Amino acid sequence: MNDGHGPNSTHLFESTVRQHQAMVFSLAYHFLQDAAAAEDVAQEVFVQLYRNFRSIQSPGHLRFWLRKVTVHRSLDELRRRPPQPISLEEVAEASTDPAPGDPWLSARLRRLVAALPPKPRMVVILRFQEDLELREIADTLEMPLNTVKSCLRRALAVLQAKLARSVGDVKV
């Protein structure tokens, strides 16, 4: 990876961007729930990667670095936004039980995850979207492992309670 700047390095960087842009965008989008903001975050991440490309030591280090920087840039983006009010339609009770695999349930769950506070939301996204182990999440978020565990446990309890209120008794 760290072969300096030049034609080969430019080609390697472009290839790296193509290979990882979907992961970076997806992580930012699932956290921010805004495609334009996710694109901005992804652009910031890859500009920062360009500046630090020589320090990347391996493909594993690259993935870790990209996730970590995407998390931090997404949190920065969220902090810059004014708080968004939640409409009554978003918290309305469901009138029928959705069928298993129902897209309504998936959409409802995504909205509930998006309503979590920033750190628990990122923990849930990293665990279930990115399929990271708890130790990897702790390293990425620079949090103690036990804090990640308790944060995930509380976030899942909140999601289960809110989902149960809207669709009936759901086990998470």
Domain boundaries, the chain: 7-80, 94-167
Q: Which sign, positive or negative, has the C-alpha torsion 23, 137, 60, 37? A: positive
Predicted structure pTM score:
0.74
Please name the residues in contact with 101: beta carbons below 8 A apart, sequence gap of 6 or more. none
The CATH class that applies to domain 94-167 reads mainly alpha
CATH of domain 7-80: 1.10.1740.10
* pLDDT, tens digit (0-9, with 9 covering 90-100), for 76-114: 998 888 765 544 344 434 333 444 455 656 788 888 999
Contact 137, 126 (CB under 8 A): yes
Contact 28, 38 (CB under 8 A): yes
Q: Which two tokens stand for residue 38?
A: 């996710």
Q: Going residue by residue through the chain (172 aa), what tens digit of pLDDT does each one get?
A: 554 555 577 889 999 999 999 999 999 999 999 999 999 999 999 999 999 999 999 999 999 999 999 999 999 998 888 765 544 344 434 333 444 455 656 788 888 999 999 999 999 999 998 999 999 999 999 999 999 999 999 999 999 998 888 766 545 5
Length of the chain: 172
